[in-house]
Structure 1
Amino acid sequence: MTPRIAVLGCGYWGSNHIRTLKSLGALHSVSDVSAARAEGFAAEQDCLAIPPEELFGRDDIDGIVLALPPQFHAANAIKAVEAGKDVLVEKPIALTVPDAERAVAAARANNRVFMVGHVLRFHPAFEQLLALISAGELGTVKYIHSHRLGLGKFHTENDALWDLAPHDLSMILAITGSEPVEVRGEGAALLDKLSDFAHVHMRFASGVRSHLFASRLNPYRERRLTVVGEKAMAVFDDIEPWPRKLAVYRHAVWQDSGQWAFTANEPSYVAVGEGLPLTRELEHFLHCIQTRAEPRTDGEEAIRVLRVLTAGTVVHDTGGRGS
């Protein structure tokens, strides 16, 4: 039987979960501190609207998606798993590593599925990129860089790093298979006390170097992950249309008489099956509930990402959390 899922938090991203779960036949109910907002979605999607204080005690709910401001994620995740519910928590799952660890430990103690919403891990182009790396098509990976730039959204609690970078960090950690041994963050707060630009530089024990650049105050959109290997380079560009989302560049670089030489080749585009990452993510969540399998993006991954976010954060003199 399809698991019955409630969505707590009917904001921008929560609304995407609501509509996608409805399309999958798994939406049971919606909940929000604004009763009017929840009732509006319930009427639109033909489901129940349940007040937050009544949600966790319902026996007719199997799992809960938490799409709240991040400062409320950990406490509600603990409440959910202790009530016997499986949970998918949007990123970031908490604002501190200890809070995240408590939530994950509670899920483990109660034998509950605990999944985090690192949605780009379910993007078909990223899955294909991982397959290329695993097959040795790029050779040994040497460098990874990721750019996630655009205009907005502006949050009162989250800066550019904490709002945008979890997606990229999740992909980078999946490629390297480890946490960095060194993290250095830089940022700039232009509008208020929270950083609008964030750079994070990482070094891994394997020798891989990496950096990410996130901005919510940029005149153009960029969603690009680049992997530099010894044999080839690959670019996952989510702005491109599906036939061009994953490109492989087989450039050649060598030494000739003590001088470096190179040839630049045109990219070859890798065929990628189309699919909406959020739909695939929620299908995976439902599968994990049904089979009790460990999610691809589990609580331990969420903690690893949170550790890097914390290490890459710079506190500005204005008193806000920046990066």
Structure 2
Amino acid sequence: MKPRIAVLGCGYWGSNHIRTLKSLGALSAVSDANRPRAEGFAIEQGCRAIDPDNLFDDPDIDALVIALPPQFHAELAIRAVRAGKDVLVEKPIALTVKDAERAVNAAREAGRVFMVGHVLRFHPAFEKLKQLIDEGELGEVKYIHSHRLGLGKFHTESDALWDLAPHDLSMILAITGEAPVEVRGEGAALLDNLSDFAHVHMRFANGVRSHLFTSRLNPYRERRLTVVGNKAMAVFDDAEPWERKLAVYRHAVWRDSGQWAFTAEEPTYVAVQEAMPLTRELQHYIDCINTRAEPRTNGAEAIEVLRILTEGTVKHERPAGDSSTPGVARAG
């Protein structure tokens, strides 16, 4: 049987959840503090509109998708699991590690499914990339770097790092299989006191190094994750068409008479299944609700992502003449 799922939050990303759950036959209700907005989606999708205060105790709702500004996520997730609902919480799950841990612990104590919306973990190209790595096609992974750049979106509560980096951090953690032992970050704000650019550098105990670069004030769009192994390199480029989203480069580098030499090969494009990541994510959520399995993107991973965002040493550079308090990555 399909679980009866309600979406709390009918904004941009919540609306995507609403339409996708409807397509999967699992949408039961929508809820938003803006009642007319919720009613509009309810009419459009043929489901109920429920006021947020009445949502948690509704016996006809089995699970929630919470897609609100992150400052509301932890408390509402705690309220939901204590009311016996499974939850999928959009990223980031909280603004502090302490709040995230409270939410995850509450779900564990209540025996509820707790999943986090790191949607790119369910992208077919990333899943195939992870398979290639696990099968040794790239050899030993040495370096991972990600670039997530574009123009907008300009949020008033979260900067480029908090808005964009969780997706990439989730993928990097999935590849390395462990949390970093060192995190260094730097951000730059041009418009106000929130970073429009951010760099994060990480070092892992297994020897892997990594960096990510995010920007919401970039003239072109880039969505690229690169993995460098000692046998081959691979690039997951989500800006490319499906037939070119995953490329493997079998370059060779060696020492010849004390000098470095190399050969540069043309990429081999790896076929991947064409499918919407959000559909696959929500189907995984439904499967976890039905089987009580641990989600691929669980609370423990989300806490590690949040710890990188909050506990790294971040240097913040303000615009010239700006006397406002820096707030780049909520880290010290």
TM-score interval, smaller chain: over 0.9
Match of 1:321 in 2: 327
Identity %: 79
Match of 2:142 in 1: 142
* Structure 1 position 319, deviation (Å): 2.1
Match of 1:186 in 2: 186
Q: Partners in 2 of 1:320 and 1:66 — Cα distance?
A: 29
The code of the aligned residue for 2:294 comes to E
* Structure 1 position 199, deviation (Å): 0.2
Match of 2:319 in 1: none
Deviations 1:43-85 (A, max 9, x none): 1111100000000010000000000000000000000000000
User: Which segments of 5 or more consecutive residues in structure 1 lack a partner in the other structure?
Assistant: none
Match of 2:92 in 1: 92
Match of 2:82 in 1: 82
* Structure 1 position 320, deviation (Å): 4.1
Runs of 4+ in 1 over 4 A off after TM superposition: none
Match of 2:58 in 1: 58
SS at match of 2:234: strand
Deviations 1:11-68 (A, max 9, x none): 0000000000000010000001100110111111111000000000100000000000
SS at match of 2:112: coil
Q: Equivalences for 1:136-175 in 2 at 5 Å?
A: 136-175=136-175
* Structure 1 position 312, deviation (Å): 3.4
Q: Equivalences for 1:14-93 in 2 at 5 Å?
A: 14-93=14-93
The code of the aligned residue for 1:66 comes to I
Q: Partners in 1 of 2:65 and 2:34 — Cα distance?
A: 17
The code of the aligned residue for 1:181 comes to V
- What's the TM-score, normalizing by structure 2? 0.96
The code of the aligned residue for 2:11 comes to G
Match of 1:226 in 2: 226
Q: Partners in 2 of 1:315 and 1:231 — Cα distance?
A: 35
User: Which segments of 5 or more consecutive residues in structure 2 lack a partner in the other structure?
Assistant: 317-322
* Structure 1 position 204, deviation (Å): 0.4
Q: CA RMSD in A?
A: 0.9
Q: Is this contact kept in 1: 2:4–2:26, CA < 8 A?
A: yes
Match of 2:203 in 1: 203
Match of 2:295 in 1: 295
Between 312-321 and 1-10, the greater mean CA deviation after superposition: 312-321
- What's the TM-score, normalizing by structure 1? 0.99
- Count residues in correspondence: 323
* Structure 1 position 311, deviation (Å): 2.4
The code of the aligned residue for 2:140 comes to T
Q: Residues 94 and 313 of structure 1: is their aligned pair in 2 closer, same or farther, counting only changes over 3 Å?
A: farther
Match of 2:121 in 1: 121
- 1:108 counterpart = 2:108: yes
SS at match of 2:73: helix
* Structure 1 position 321, deviation (Å): 2.0
